[in-house]
Structure formats: structure tokens, C-alpha cells
């Protein structure tokens, strides 16, 4: 296969929070993988910046440990690890004080791409932005990358946006939603807009409904105290599921360019109807045979926070009027699955006898496991005995269709970091998009709070509360079985 990877210019990437969990597990291993693939130029430099003081040597040793821990032996080799580590530097810095800033300023080079990854608590975003500006470290072309959560509600998201806007233009701000970096998510756009086949059918006339499921088997574990202030609506729906919904529902952008794509996504969020209370099911996992309950994990015996949510949404525009979108996400569920199911309508008239087994086409876009897509198609069951119909999948599991090598695609973080260096904002959320998503989310949460609504308890390792199944059954529909 001919590589058409766009080369990357020389860069200085500063990772604030360079010793933190996200940097160790995702950012640095991701950068190493890109380096090993030959995508990071020789004159690139990565500077860890965090609270502890240590030498660059000590930092390199920490990163070497992280790479050993996170990457399987087949994905690393001593020679390239050493060459990668040689590109690393370190500064001990205080985001809220003066310590370390002159040192960082001295390390930055002119004439290369500058990127600053804010892999720290959001409470420090403003401090970092201010000091980068004050110490004249970030030039007018510099890029900043900010992590989730981007606000807790509309007011806090506005504050964050305003704080960043004091020192950086929107074109410099890269808000990460790592779901957008997933290969299949981008493939969703390729399938929709790169084929004639789907787009004419991509509307209420032909699509019965859409399901988006993000199920996790883990509980909230060590993040319990943090999660308890957030819940599934803020932690998953407002950002990840909303982004997936936007990519499914948006109008074709005129170009695959950042603002064209983000304008269309924004229109979808603005077209969302307020959610009816009867169209939402909130759940909380109870203790399993050998797993603690949500309340134990959160250390809050009276917690009303949801670890599961299922909801029915309507996008009120010409394309989608009458075609519902069902979303569900939860912790401690039966299997770890992220997928989108687009269920088409049945043909308007059947020429076959009633019990031949004809059903509707279904396009499934799997984000994990086994990234890929399949489309069920109705065919004649082979063999004698008259016309019997069966559904067969046209399967496009990437690993099978493209070979293991091609399916070894960059992880979401790798892709997104490289996009920052290339200056491509298409897969990052714009400030107005984030605010619009909060503007839709806030009243839903406010209504639960006003009613002091308690979530329904569900069994660990299940598909969530039964009420979530009923949410679809009452419409004559059903969820695709989790893990099927």
C-alpha cells in the first residue's frame, strides 16, 4: 500500500501534566508509536512540564518505564525507544506561580510549530493560558490542546472559553474528544460522504431509527468521588455520544474542512428537542457477586448520580423528523461495546409471503471491539424448498478486510496529536459546539435535580435497568443485544 501520510513539520510540544496518568498511558506512548512509524521528524522535541522537580534524565527514565508498561513488547524496540527518549526534555513548573516559567521560555525554539498540551485539571487551564502569554512563550501561531471535561455546565464552559479566548484565538484551541480520533468514527464520514449508496437513503423516509451504545464493564472505581459529581450524562452523553450523534445526523458539509464540518455538527445540536422526562432512564449499578455497588465506589451512600443512562432524542429538522435516536451508555455492563446501529425501514411492499423471514437492513458501525462495519442484507436462503429469506452481514471488520498490518491503525490520541501538529482542527470541538451541547444538557439535569430523581438500581454485568429495554419496546423496537 502506498503511504500518503502528510509529513509533519519540526515541532516543540510541551505536555503540562507530563508526569500524569493521561500522559503516561496515552500521550507519550502515542507519540512514541508515531515516532517509531517515522512520522515524527528528527528535530521534534517533547517537553514534559509538571509539578515535581527532576532532571531530564529522570523524566526520560519515567517515560521509559511508562512505555514498557503500556506497550506490548512487539510494539517497541530498544533502539527506537532510546532515539525517542533523546527527544524528551523536562521542566518542573508551577501552573499557579512563577516557578519554572523562565526555564520553559528558554527551552522553546523559534521557527518551529509550538503546541502546548494542557493535560492537567481544568481548574489550571486559565492559569496556564495566562502564564504562557505573560512569559511570551506561546507565539501567535502556537496551539493549545485542552482535555475533557470542558466545563461542568454551560456557565463553566463559557467561563473556560472566555478565559482561553483572552490569550488565544479559536484557531489556536484544540478541544479533545478522543472519540473523534477513532478510526471508525472517521470512517463513518468516509462511508456517508464517499459513497453514493448511503446518502440518498440517509433520512427519515428510509431510516427507522438510530441507536448509539457505549457500554463499559468497569465501574467508576478509583474515580468514584470525581464521577459522583458528574454522572453518565455529563461524563459521556454531553460529549462523546453527542459527537457521534452529530456525525450521523449532520448534513453533508461542503468540504472536509474544520469549520464546514463543525458548522454542520453545531446545527444538529441546535436542532435537538428538549428531552421529555418519560424518554430518559437513569440507572445506578448495585453490588455484584464480587464487585462493589456504585454507592460504595463513590463513597456516597445516598448518591443520586447515574452510572447508566438511556434516552430517546429527536433531531427536529427536515431530514430527521420522525426518526428517533436512542442513546445509551453505562458502567458495569455485560460487555465492553461501542457501536452505532442505523436501522433502515422495511421495504414498502413485500412481494414475498408473510413468513418468509424478510426484515430490514441494519448498518452497524463498531468502534470497539473489532473496529469495523457490517450491513445486513436480506438474501434467499440457499437450497431447495421455495423462497425463504435470511439476513446475512456484509462484514467489513478492518482487520479482515484490510489485513492485520493496515488494521493496526493509530490510536485516537496519536491521530489527534498529529492533527494538532499539522494544524488541522476538523476532529476537535469548537467552543460554540461545546456550549450548545451544554445548553441542551443543563435543563435535563436541572429537571432531575428539581425532582430529586433517584436512578433505578441495576444488576452489575447486565444490560442496565429493564426500563431501558421498555423505552424501545413501547415504540415496537429493540436494542441490539450488547455483545452480540
Give the interface with ligand NAD as residue ranges (CB under 6 A). Answer: 16-23, 50-51, 93-96, 119-122, 124, 147-149
357 annotated ligand binder: no
The pairing of strands 325-330 and 207-215 is parallel
Least distance between ligand NAD and beta carbon 105 (Å)? 15
Question: What stretch of H or E contains 405?
Answer: helix 398-407
Closest CA to 298 of 308, 284, 310, 309: 284
Instruction: Please say which residue, 100 or 292, places its beta carbon nearer to ligand NAD.
Output: 100
Least distance between ligand NAD and beta carbon 106 (Å)? 18
Backbone φ and ψ of 123, nearest 5°: -60, -20
331 annotated ligand binder: yes
Q: Rounded to whole angstroms, how far apart are CA atoms 426 and 449?
A: 35
Least distance between ligand NAD and beta carbon 283 (Å)? 23
Instruction: Please say which residue, 20 or 29, places its beta carbon nearer to ligand NAD.
Output: 20
216 annotated ligand binder: yes
Task: Report the 3 state secondary structure along 198-236.
Answer: CHHHCCCCCEEEEEEEEECCCCCHHHHHHHHCCHHHHHH
Angle at 52 between CA 47 and CA 58, to 5 degrees: 60
17 annotated ligand binder: yes
Q: Which residue is nearest to ligand NAD (CB)?
A: 20
Cβ proximity of 452 and 458 under 8 Å: no
Least distance between ligand NAD and beta carbon 148 (Å)? 5
Cβ proximity of 272 and 314 under 8 Å: yes
The CA-atom distances, in angstroms, between 237 and each of 327, 364, 437 are 8, 20, 9
Closest CA to 84 of 46, 134, 122, 127: 46
Contacts of 386 (CB under 8 A, 6+ apart): none
Instruction: Please say which residue, 121 or 377, places its beta carbon nearer to ligand NAD.
Output: 121
Instruction: Please say which residue, 16 or 285, places its beta carbon nearer to ligand NAD.
Output: 16
The alpha carbon of residue 451 and the mean position of all alpha carbons in its chain are separated, in whole angstroms, by 30
20 annotated ligand binder: yes
Least distance between ligand NAD and beta carbon 123 (Å)? 9
> What crossing angle do the helices spanning 183-194 and 242-249 adopt, rounded to 10°?
20
Q: Is 240 a catalytic residue?
A: yes
Instruction: Please say which residue, 20 or 292, places its beta carbon nearer to ligand NAD.
Output: 20
Active-site residue (options: 135, 240, 314, 473): 240
Q: What residues are designated binding site?
A: 17-24, 51, 148, 178, 182, 216, 235, 331
Q: What residues are designated binding site for substrate?
A: 178, 182, 216, 235, 331
Residues with active-site annotation: 240
Q: What residues are designated binding site for NADP(+)?
A: 17-24, 51, 148
Amino acid at each position: 500500500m502506498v503511504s500518503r501520510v502528510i509529513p509533519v513539520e519540526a515541532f516543540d510540544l510541551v505536555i503540562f501534566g507530563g508526569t500524569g496518568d493521561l500522559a503516561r498511558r496515552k500521550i507519550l506512548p502515542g507519540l512514541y508509536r508515531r515516532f517509531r512509524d517515522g512520522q515524527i521528524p528528527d528535530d521534534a522535541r517533547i517537553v514534559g512540564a509538571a509539578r515535581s522537580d527532576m532532571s531530564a534524565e529522570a523524566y526520560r527514565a519515567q517515560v521509559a518505564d511508562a512505555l514498557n508498561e503500556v506497550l506490548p513488547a512487539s510494539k517497541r524496540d530498544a533502539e527506537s525507544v532510546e532515539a525517542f527518549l533523546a527527544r524528551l526534555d523536562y521542566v518542573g513548573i508551577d501552573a499557579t506561580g512563577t516557578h519554572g516559567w523562565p526555564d520553559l521560555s528558554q527551552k522553546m525554539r523559534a521557527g518551529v510549530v509550538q503546541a502546548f498540551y494542557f493535560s492537567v485539571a481544568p481548574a489550571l487551564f486559565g492559569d496556564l493560558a495566562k502564564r504562557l502569554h505573560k512569559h511570551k512563550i506561546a507565539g501567535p501561531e502556537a496551539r493549545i490542546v485542552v482535555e475533557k471535561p470542558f466545563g461542568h455546565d454551560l456557565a463553566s464552559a463559557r467561563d473556560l472559553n472566555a478565559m482561553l479566548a483572552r490569550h488565544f484565538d479559536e484557531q489556536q484551541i484544540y478541544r479533545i474528544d478522543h472519540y473523534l480520533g477513532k478510526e471508525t468514527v472517521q470512517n463513518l464520514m468516509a462511508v456517508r460522504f464517499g459513497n453514493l449508496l448511503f446518502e440518498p437513503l440517509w433520512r427519515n423516509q428510509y431510516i427507522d431509527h438510530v441507536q448509539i451504545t457505549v457500554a463499559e464493564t468497569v465501574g467508576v472505581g478509583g474515580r468514584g468521588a470525581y464521577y459522583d459529581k458528574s454522572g453518565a450524562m455529563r461524563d459521556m452523553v454531553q460529549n462523546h455520544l453527542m459527537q457521534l450523534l452529530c456525525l450521523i445526523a449532520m448534513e453533508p458539509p461542503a468540504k472536509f474542512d474544520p469549520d464546514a464540518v463543525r458548522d454542520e455538527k453545531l446545527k444538529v445540536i441546535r436542532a435537538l428537542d428538549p428531552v421529555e422526562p418519560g424518554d430518559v432512564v437513569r440507572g445506578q449499578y448495585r453490588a455484584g457477586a464480587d464487585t462493589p455497588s456504585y454507592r460504595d465506589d463513590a463513597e456516597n451512600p445516598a448518591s443520586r448520580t447515574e452510572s447508566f443512562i438511556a434516552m430517546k432524542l429527536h433531531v427536529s429538522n427536515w431530514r430527521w423528523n420522525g426518526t428517533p435516536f436512542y442513546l445509551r451508555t453505562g458502567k458495569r455492563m455485560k460487555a465492553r461495546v461501542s457501536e452505532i446501529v442505523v436501522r433502515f425501514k422495511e421495504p414498502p411492499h413485500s412481494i414475498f409471503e408473510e413468513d418468509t423471514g424478510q426484515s430490514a437492513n441494519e448498518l452497524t458501525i463498531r468502534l470497539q471491539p473489532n473496529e469495523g462495519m457490517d450491513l445486513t442484507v436480506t438474501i434467499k436462503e440457499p437450497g431447495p424448498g421455495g423462497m425463504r429469506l435470511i439476513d446475512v452481514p456484509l462484514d467489513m471488520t478492518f482487520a479482515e478486510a484490510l489485513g492485520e498490518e493496515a488494521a493496526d491503525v493509530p490510536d485516537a490520541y496519536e491521530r489527534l496529536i498529529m492533527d494538532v501538529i499539522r494544524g488541522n482542527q476538523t476532529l476537535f470541538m469548537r467552543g460554540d459546539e461545546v456550549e450548545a451541547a451544554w445548553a441542551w444538557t443543563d435543563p435535563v439535569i436541572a429537571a432531575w435535580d428539581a425532582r430529586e430523581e433517584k436512578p433505578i438500581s441495576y444488576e452489575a454485568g447486565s444490560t442496565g435497568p429493564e426500563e431501558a429495554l421498555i423505552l424501545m419496546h413501547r415504540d415496537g423496537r429493540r436494542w441490539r443485544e450488547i455483545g452480540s
